[in-house]
Structure 1
Amino acid sequence: MAGVRSNSEPPVSRSPRERGQEIDSITAFDRVAASGSLAGYRVRSLDLTDRTFALLSTDTAESVFLGCAMEPDAAAKVRAGGALVFPPVPGLPVDPYRGSLYAPDELFEGLVDAGYDATPDARAYHWYQETKAGGDVFASILRSIHDDAVSDALDEHLAGSRVVGIMGGHSLERGSAAYAGAARLGRRLTRDGLTVATGGGPGAMEAANLGAYAAPFEDGMLDSALELLSKAPYFRPSVTDWARAAFDVRRSRPGGGASVGIPTWFYGHEPPNPFASHIAKYFVNALREDGLLARSHAGVVFLPGAAGTVQEIFDNATPNYYRSRGEPTPMVLVNREHWTEELPTWPLLRALAADRPMAARIALVDSVDDVPEALARLAAEAGP
């Protein structure tokens, strides 16, 4: 049969780049399979049950099938042809082999009819808690595969973007002046052509993603959204009411601006916010935190927060200090009183930066309105 390599034939030699190429859609699968060779490709999360003939007639040497549904004959053939096959795992609330980031509608599916506890997001957290407590090594492997797939999808999505991270506390309530300020900041930075990335949770994170969502609309849209959201100011006691209010805003003004949220099921009591258009949700919090900071090449803005935000400041300061990621990235701390008196982080950051290249990349400003100018100034002072 044309295109099928017998077991006695030598393995197909492919370049490292070819060997790592991924197929994430049926259209791409059909295009490549038509050439007679899937050798070296990584085929991910596709339903191939009606592609049996293509699989039986195509070279699959050194290919890898991740979570693809196949008829038994097709699965046996591709294995015999030199492929690795990682079959789908039934009953999971997440696809560990997924090839794309999450969308809010996907994570919150079922919210309107059955409430938050019925959503894939809540079910994923419960699965994580159950398998972690039981020490299930297979579940641990699946979580690791999932997080690696999410990182890969995040890199693909952000390629070529100027990403600015916005960090801040999860306890910031809708309806507060600080929440409105964080939303204005997200809107301004998005309008300036930057991609806003946050930790993806509630509070200041949600506000920044909301601002990015509001960026394409007239200014009054954000004011209306803030008023509607203030009726459900916090995700406690009811995540359902909190999330439904956000989706009410989205339904009233569909087609908002894009931004990224990077939350974690490690903090499962904190739901992801629905205003990030693309959500990279992780099981391992350390991967999530480092990944967000490492990808924020255009700078990181630190709004007032508590222990978590302080940790993020110095998580970002360390590679800036040692230049382990290349040139230091801009860091802007917002609210002078908070960072010099309530939690005096700024004096220590400034002392660390003294006589080092990162000194030209840190700033303390009084309000969110000062952030865009500070980011531009830090970038200019550091030079090309």
Structure 2
Amino acid sequence: MKAEYRKGPVLLRGRNVPTSSTSGRLLGGQDEPDWLHGDPWRVMRIQSEFVEGFGALAELGPAISVFGSARSEPGAPDYEQGITAGRRLVEEGFAVITGGGPGVMEAANKGAQEAGGVSVGLGIELPFEQGVNEFVNLGINFRYFFVRKTMFVKYAQGFIVLPGGFGTMDELFESLTLVQTRTITRFPIVLVGHAYWDGLVTWLRDAVVADGKASATDLDLFHVTDDIEEAVRIVADHARGEGTGPVEPAGGAMQESM
């Protein structure tokens, strides 16, 4: 595929593709005094991204965010689970939100589109990304990670998390923190794949909780399953107010320092 880069509404190809991103430049070194004059103006661009995101998604309706690796190939087990998740969520009456990229994200968007539902892709401006995948029928490309991450949570009623890397972990732990601190409530988080996630869960229990860095009740903020149908049922039931079991922190969770 020919190198392609989206910078807000601007499409760049070939030698015009930059080697850094807007977020990278924002967080870059401040060795020169120019940032004193440039950074305040960036606030206007950041504001515009929030306005555009809110405007595009305000009437989305019930939705579930699906996360997972961008590196999963078609035919891989997690890719096929992504397709099933997207299709089943649409059948349950939900729009499907992903990061809009390849791999599991593409799979969930594909399942949603093929089921005739709303397939949302929230892309991010990165030099090595190719923009939103072809199965997205409502796409937004963001410059700033923190704006994009706000949209994932604000417009979703739950998360389904398939195996993934740092980006997937980032979204997972941010959502857990938001629930643990009661910033958001009644927000189900389901991890799919015991073989992939059980090692992390064991470490959280035997290291983090055992050392007093989190409460034992914090482990109730998410559910692990191998069954994609169960994952869809959990998030769908909780989104409708029909769920049972912990989806918000017990009283002791607020005693932990973050």
TM-score above 0.5, yes or no: yes
Aligned equivalent of 1:312: 171
2:190 to 324, 329, 332: 332
Measured at CA, do residues 154 and 290 of structure 1 come closer, stay the same or move farther in structure 2, by a change above 3 Å?
Answer: closer
Which AA in structure 1 matches 2:96? V
Measure, in 1, the Cα distance between the counterparts of 2:56 and 2:71: 29
Percent identity of the aligned residues? 26
Query: 1:169 deviation in Å?
Result: 0.9
Aligned residues of 2:96 and 2:119 also touching (Cα < 8 A): yes
The alignment partner of 1:281 has SS state of strand
- After TM superposition, list the pairs within 5 Å mapping 1:105-254 onto structure 2: 115-117=2-4, 120-123=10-13, 126=17, 129=20, 132=25, 144-160=43-59, 161-216=61-116
Aligned equivalent of 2:138: 278
The alignment partner of 2:148 has SS state of helix
Measure, in 1, the Cα distance between the counterparts of 2:195 and 2:39: 43
What 5-or-longer segments of structure 2 have no aligned partner? 248-258
Aligned equivalent of 2:250: none
2:223 to 363, 376, 380: 363
Q: Does 1:323 align with 2:182?
A: yes
Measured at CA, do residues 130 and 299 of structure 1 come closer, stay the same or move farther in structure 2, by a change above 3 Å?
Answer: closer
Measure, in 2, the Cα distance between the counterparts of 1:118 and 1:309: 22
Query: 1:206 deviation in Å?
Result: 1.0
The alignment partner of 2:169 has SS state of helix
Measure, in 1, the Cα distance between the counterparts of 2:21 and 2:86: 36
Measure, in 2, the Cα distance between the counterparts of 1:118 and 1:207: 22
The alignment partner of 1:151 has SS state of helix
- Report 1 or 2 for greater relative contact order, CA contacts < 8 Å, sequence distance ≥ 6: 2
Aligned equivalent of 1:28: none
Query: 1:366 deviation in Å?
Result: 0.7
Measure, in 2, the Cα distance between the counterparts of 1:179 and 1:369: 15
Measured at CA, do residues 144 and 169 of structure 1 come closer, stay the same or move farther in structure 2, by a change above 3 Å?
Answer: farther
Length-normalised TM-score, structure 2? 0.72
Aligned equivalent of 2:204: 348
Larger Rg: 1
Partner deviation per Cα, 1:289-336 (whole Å, 9 max, x = no partner): 24313332x1011101122212221110111001123x2411011001
Measured at CA, do residues 128 and 142 of structure 1 come closer, stay the same or move farther in structure 2, by a change above 3 Å?
Answer: farther
The alignment partner of 1:165 has SS state of strand
1:300 to 151, 159, 176: 159
Aligned residues of 2:83 and 2:111 also touching (Cα < 8 A): yes
Which AA in structure 2 matches 1:340? D
* Greater per-residue strand proportion: 2
Measured at CA, do residues 129 and 122 of structure 1 come closer, stay the same or move farther in structure 2, by a change above 3 Å?
Answer: same
- Number of corresponding residues: 223
What 5-or-longer segments of structure 1 have no aligned partner? 1-110, 217-256
